[in-house]
Amino acid sequence: MSKTVVMAVVNQKGGTGKTTTCESLGIGLANEGKRVLLIDSDPQGSLTISLGYPRPDELQVTLSDIFTKIINEQDIAVDEGIIRHEEGVDLMPANIELSGLEVSLVNVMNREKILKQYVDTVKDKYDFILIDCGPSLGMLTINALAAADRLIIPVQAQYLPAKGLELLLQTVNKVRKYINPGLKIEGILLTMVDSRTNYAKDISNLIRNVYGGKLHVYKTDIPQSVRASEISAEGKSIYEHDPRGKVADAYRVLTKEVIRNVSKRQKHQSFEL
């Protein structure tokens, strides 16, 4: 795999499994031998906390420090602030300071592309960079959309969250038009699917029917699981917490699907050149 793939995991609605997906896919990719950087761009620090850093405010360097340096045109060391995680991924953590910084971005030149500038300085070291977005369509999420090549959109298998997809797709189209013309949607990922109920199956079919023609909907659904909801408190991934469970299995399958799609695309691009 030649080119670094930069993916943002995004949905403006909270509770759709963004952080779990970012963490589980990232560690899944590392388990497949890929070099992976996870970037937490959520001021709540959900990804940072779920990877075992329960007090992100005590970390010496976080994404807000990196943003401040870029805004002030100061040099950044390639490894600056990056935490090496025991499960094989690197992490650029976040904390609540990012929230104040988002407000001050309003007055910054080229404010949509601060995160992209950071990604460009580190991307040569990685096969995949995954960005975990907060539950909003504010300036930090716009930064993630500007920095990414592809988007993964986790959607809960319920009617209302599926409705919110339209708003997100409108934002993606605007970003594509004005900021990042190369941005593509990698896929919609159905999460928290309770396969025992007909309701979840109906929503799953609805999303596939409505969006499947225009967008890739992953074959893999992520099942509903109490064990999966415990992992953020544990500071361990689903692979450590419940390695033989159905959620770990689903994320393993998803990881392979993502790698397959990327390889296929890169082969296709090299034929075109």
The CATH number that domain 5-272 falls under is 3.40.50.300
* pLDDT for res 160: 59
3-state per-residue secondary structure call for the chain: CCCCEEEEECCCCCCCCHHHHHHHHHHHHHHCCCCEEEEEECCCCHHHHHCCCCCHHHCCCCHHHHHHHHHCCCCCCCCCCCEECCCCCEEECCCCHHHHHHHHHHHCCCHHHHHHHHHHHHHHHCCEEEEEECCCCCHHHHHHHHHCCEEEEEEECCHHHHHHHHHHHHHHHHHHHHCCCCCEEEEEEEECECCCCHHHHHHHHHHHHHHCCCCCECCCCCECCHHHHCHHHHCCCHHHHCCCCHHHHHHHHHHHHHHHHHHHHHHHHHHHC
Q: Looking at residues 231-251, what average pLDDT do you find?
A: 87
pTM above 0.85, yes or no: yes
Q: Looking at the predicted structure, is the pLDDT value of residue 257 above 80?
A: yes
Percent of the chain with pLDDT over 90: 64
Confidence bin at 62 (pLDDT 50/70/90): very high
What average pLDDT does the segment 224-251 reach?
Answer: 84
The chain-wide mean pLDDT, for the chain, equals 89
Mean pLDDT of 107-134: 94
pLDDT band at 145 (very low <50, low <70, confident <90, very high): very high
pLDDT at 173 over 80: yes
pLDDT at 250: 95
pLDDT value for 265: 82
In this prediction, residue 159 has a pLDDT band, given cuts at 50, 70 and 90, of low
pLDDT given for residue 150 in this prediction: 96
pLDDT number for residue 74: 95
pLDDT attached to residue 273:
47
What is the mean predicted confidence (pLDDT) over 238-253? 93
